[in-house]
Amino acid sequence: MADFLRPDQGILFMKVGVHAQESLEAIVRRKTKEIEEAGFAFWGYGGNTCHPTAMVQPFAKKFEQRGGVIVCMHEMDSRHHAEQVRASHYSVDGRMWEPIPPAINVLGSRYALKIKRLRREEFELPLTNTRVAVGRNRGRRGNLYVYGRVDKACLEIDPEGSSTGEHTIKISLVADLCEPYAVFLKNQ
């Protein structure tokens, strides 16, 4: 496991790849530029395993007081070739909407993580050393939760987890999650 990950940190695990007809390398270049220009970027995603208000925000608030949340991304083959529909507004709560800053461009997504300090890091994440941190699967070992179609998870490092290296997953990209952590997106 990477030496910058500690038991007092949360891990938001996410599988990443081609999205909205854009390669991962192109997305990383665009998000890096957004962080340079706006101080943050929105990393778009879908699915309910990391719903903004039910999962990500409570998870991040809990771990922000302990040591923060690191977004750990596992690169995979993806066939997400949906249209490049640009979101125009975001909301922290799904009710009050604000325009997305001009320097930020988020495509083909229903939700987004708010990130800063996006960087390449290569390491193995032993999912047996993690547990689901929020929701109805809370406490379940990461390796028993992240499989099949489950491609995102709010995890915590389990200091009593197995250190055998079983069920590791390669991480190639990391980012720091920042407040308000996750938002809803829409087009106008």
pLDDT of 163 over the 60 cut:
no
5 inside domain: no
Distances (CA, A) of 87 to 77, 101, 123: 24, 11, 32
Q: Dihedral (C-alpha) 21, 124, 121, 148: value to the nearest 10 degrees?
A: 20
With beta carbons less than 8 A apart as the criterion, state whether 111 and 44 touch. yes
Higher pLDDT, 78 or 101: 101
pLDDT of 165 over the 80 cut:
no
149 inside domain: yes
1 inside domain: no
pLDDT tens digits for range 115-134: 999 999 999 999 999 999 99
44 inside domain: yes
Q: List the structure tokens of 1.
A: 């496991």
pLDDT of 65 over the 70 cut:
yes
2 inside domain: no
With beta carbons less than 8 A apart as the criterion, state whether 134 and 36 touch. no
Please report which confidence band the pLDDT of residue 40 belongs to, taking 50, 70 and 90 as the band edges.
very high
Q: Phi then psi for 144, rounded to 5 degrees? A: -90, -15
- Residue 40, judged by CB atoms within 10 A of its CB (0-12, 13-18, 19+), counts as buried
Query: Worst-scoring range by mean pLDDT, 4-18, 24-38, 118-132?
Result: 4-18
4 inside domain: no
Please report which confidence band the pLDDT of residue 166 belongs to, taking 50, 70 and 90 as the band edges.
low
53 inside domain: yes
The secondary structure element, H or E, covering residue 60 is: helix 57-64
pTM, whole model, 2 decimals?
Answer: 0.92
* Domains in the chain, number: 1
pLDDT of 37 over the 70 cut:
yes
pLDDT of 95 over the 80 cut:
yes
pLDDT of 68 over the 60 cut:
yes
Q: What domain range is 133 assigned to?
A: 10-185
63 inside domain: yes
- Residue 163, judged by CB atoms within 10 A of its CB (0-12, 13-18, 19+), counts as exposed
pLDDT of 86 over the 90 cut:
no
Higher pLDDT, 58 or 76: 58
Of all residues in the chain, what percent are helix, strand and coil, respectively (each to 5)? 20, 40, 45
